[in-house]
A and B are shown apart, each in its own frame.
Chain A
């Protein structure tokens, strides 16, 4: 038994294809991103070493900070929207007929590509023929805004499809966690005279704290990486008012052919993702975990 199952040659053969792909296509590139960030490079010609110039330029680049600011705003919105998703999951996990059906309907947008969602919402937001402004005009607003062309509105307008896309995903996670709570605990609280609010906030929510922490990390780190939807819907516009870090990286590298500077932005994005994950995990780490199963 031990001899067969500790055959090192076979283990190596099983692990190597995947490991090589991971190292070559994921790990080496992130090191190279940091390295390219030290270069002046148009992507094709020769590289010139310029030290930390790209990184110091980054720190003084107001457009970059604006895009970082938008990214953080989206992350904040995403984290806050979790409260709403959690409430819906609480309702759904009560004794509600058809909970399964609701849960599945909520999930449908999550299955679609961000590009299809972006194109659909472009049509919804269309200034004259979109379903939103048609509706607003029908109920008496004479001059509804061109949602995606207003610098002060565009970020909020972009957040709505994001909210729509991920609702089912988070509701599903919370729902699954809430369904895992043994009925006996809820029953005992009810016998002790707890009302539904107390059961929800004093019993159920504390029991799924771990899951809530994971979703906060997911929502925040996920929103650092928004790209497809914004790229298609506004391409960062109007005038940079919806630019985020990932779209700024893409623009610098693949539009302005400044691959060195784009790499610096990409490396910064990587660092932020890792640091934010680490900080959130640390901030939400608890020493005692609740065991109830």
Chain B
């Protein structure tokens, strides 16, 4: 039976009760979303004996930061970490640059075949990476690019291009025509208009796409796992997986490794949360 808070008797009490109930519900979901991560942080600071003997959410008597030192210095985690950083940076820069060029050419310039090209990129949103994995593997094998970071970087750029263009599109369409008109009057070339005028104007949406790309590239697994075999080029996602495979029983080390792999994204989120929320909302079609 629906409640009529505005008309029913004792409505103030009922409304307050409903309000509290909603808060309890929302808080419960929030706790469930965050609790596994708090537990992870806690066991990353314990040794095995503490993990097994103490209550799961009990604080260790002395936090064992040495778990972090150990996994950072003993295994290849630091190497994987820096691979993740540079591969992510290179991929994001080229994805955003190429996507900006395409979006500019499609939305601001006039030439035949614009809508066909746009259609090709948009259909690309629907294609599952798994269906391309075998031919990509054999292509990179033929080009001698397996076990080479280029195989991963090129794949990231190609597969993230559609979503990046999609986020940029709306923004580019909304730029006023006068921008180019004035520039052309002044004798600007297309290159100058794009690099000196339009690109700087799109800084905010570029930041959004860059963050979305960063999250995808930093967390990507299947391409690295399939194309890269030597430790020298592995990224953190795959490295974590292998590392944990070797240390199945050292819970503290496993926790520390996982924390290292998620910390950069969590810190970025704390600093840039508004933009990330926006970006994920805008990038919703990728799923």
A: which residues have CB within 8 A of B? Answer: 1-2, 4-8, 10-11, 14-15, 17-19, 21-30, 32-33, 36, 43, 88, 91-92, 94, 96, 102-116, 119-121, 123-124, 129, 131, 134-135, 164, 167-169, 172-173, 176, 190, 195-198, 214-215, 218-219, 221-222, 224-225, 227-228, 232, 246, 249-250, 253-254, 259, 262-263, 266-267, 269-270, 273-274, 277
Stretch at the interface among B60-68, B70-78, B200-208, B254-262: B254-262
Query: DSSP majority for the B interface?
Result: helix
Name the CB-closest residue of B to A91. B22
Q: Please list the 6 inter-chain residue pairs (A to B) with the smallest Cβ-Cβ separation, ordered nearest first.
A: A113-B219, A29-B132, A32-B135, A29-B135, A270-B131, A25-B158
Contact assessment for B221 and A102 in the assembled complex, using a CB-CB cutoff below 8 Å = no
Contact assessment for A266 and B190 in the assembled complex, using a CB-CB cutoff below 8 Å = no
Known contacts A21-B158, A116-B262; is A224 also within 8 Å of B128 by CB?
yes
User: Nearest Cβ in chain B — how far from A239, in angstroms?
Assistant: 21
B99 within 8 Å of A (CB atoms)? yes
Contact assessment for A123 and B43 in the assembled complex, using a CB-CB cutoff below 8 Å = yes
Q: Which residues of B contact A173 (CB under 8 A)?
A: 281, 284
User: Nearest Cβ in chain A — how far from B106, in angstroms?
Assistant: 8
Contact assessment for A115 and B237 in the assembled complex, using a CB-CB cutoff below 8 Å = yes
B: which residues have CB within 8 A of A? Answer: 2-6, 22-23, 25-26, 29-30, 32-34, 36-37, 39-40, 43, 51-52, 55-56, 98-99, 101-102, 104-106, 108-111, 117, 120-121, 124, 126-139, 154-155, 157-159, 161-162, 165, 180-181, 184-185, 188-191, 193-194, 215, 218-222, 226, 237-238, 240-241, 244, 251, 254-255, 258, 261-262, 265-266, 269, 273, 276-277, 280-281, 284-285, 287
User: B105, B106, B237, B258 — which one has the most chain A CB atoms within 10 A of its CB?
Assistant: B105
Which of A5, A105, A218, A277 is within 8 Å of B109, CB to CB?
A5
Contact assessment for A36 and B135 in the assembled complex, using a CB-CB cutoff below 8 Å = yes
Contact assessment for A5 and B101 in the assembled complex, using a CB-CB cutoff below 8 Å = no
Contact assessment for B191 and A10 in the assembled complex, using a CB-CB cutoff below 8 Å = yes
Known contacts A91-B26, A92-B26, A167-B29; is A28 also within 8 Å of B135 by CB?
yes
Q: Which residues of B contact A17 (CB under 8 A)?
A: 98, 101
Contact assessment for A176 and B281 in the assembled complex, using a CB-CB cutoff below 8 Å = yes
A-B contact pairs, 9 of them (CB 8 A): A102-B30, A103-B277, A106-B30, A107-B276, A111-B276, A120-B36, A227-B222, A228-B222, A270-B127
A262 to B131, alpha carbons, bound, how many Å? Answer: 9
Name the CB-closest residue of A to B43. A123
Contact assessment for B101 and A108 in the assembled complex, using a CB-CB cutoff below 8 Å = no
Contact assessment for A6 and B110 in the assembled complex, using a CB-CB cutoff below 8 Å = yes
Known contacts A5-B108, A15-B105, A21-B158; is A269 also within 8 Å of B251 by CB?
no
Known contacts A1-B184, A10-B191; is A18 also within 8 Å of B161 by CB?
yes
Contact assessment for A108 and B269 in the assembled complex, using a CB-CB cutoff below 8 Å = yes
User: B134, B154, B194 — which one has the most chain A CB atoms within 10 A of its CB?
Assistant: B134
Contact assessment for B25 and A91 in the assembled complex, using a CB-CB cutoff below 8 Å = yes
A18 to B219, alpha carbons, bound, how many Å? Answer: 22
Q: Which residues of A contact B277 (CB under 8 A)?
A: 103-104, 107, 172
Q: Which residues of B contact A43 (CB under 8 A)?
A: 134, 137-138
Q: Which residues of A contact B226 (CB under 8 A)?
A: 254
Known contacts A214-B285, A250-B133; is A8 also within 8 Å of B111 by CB?
yes
A259 to B26, alpha carbons, bound, how many Å? Answer: 48
Which of A11, A30, A33, A227 is within 8 Å of B105, CB to CB?
A11
Contact assessment for A33 and B222 in the assembled complex, using a CB-CB cutoff below 8 Å = no
Q: Which residues of A contact B188 (CB under 8 A)?
A: 4
A46 to B107, alpha carbons, bound, how many Å? Answer: 46
Contact assessment for A253 and B98 in the assembled complex, using a CB-CB cutoff below 8 Å = no
Contact assessment for A14 and B104 in the assembled complex, using a CB-CB cutoff below 8 Å = yes
Contact assessment for B40 and A109 in the assembled complex, using a CB-CB cutoff below 8 Å = no
8 new A-B pairs (CB below 8 Å) besides A5-B184, A22-B161, A129-B51? A5-B108, A18-B102, A25-B158, A28-B135, A92-B26, A254-B226, A269-B128, A277-B126
A106 to B29, alpha carbons, bound, how many Å? Answer: 8
Q: Which residues of A contact B3 (CB under 8 A)?
A: 195-196
Which of A131, A168, A218, A227 is within 8 Å of B285, CB to CB?
A218
User: Nearest Cβ in chain A — how far from B110, in angstroms?
Assistant: 4
Name the CB-closest residue of A to B192. A4
Contact assessment for A33 and B281 in the assembled complex, using a CB-CB cutoff below 8 Å = no
Contact assessment for B180 and A1 in the assembled complex, using a CB-CB cutoff below 8 Å = yes
User: Nearest Cβ in chain B — how far from A109, in angstroms?
Assistant: 6
Contact assessment for B280 and A107 in the assembled complex, using a CB-CB cutoff below 8 Å = yes
Contact assessment for B130 and A266 in the assembled complex, using a CB-CB cutoff below 8 Å = yes
User: Nearest Cβ in chain A — how far from B42, in angstroms?
Assistant: 10
A7 to B109, alpha carbons, bound, how many Å? Answer: 8
Contact assessment for A262 and B154 in the assembled complex, using a CB-CB cutoff below 8 Å = no
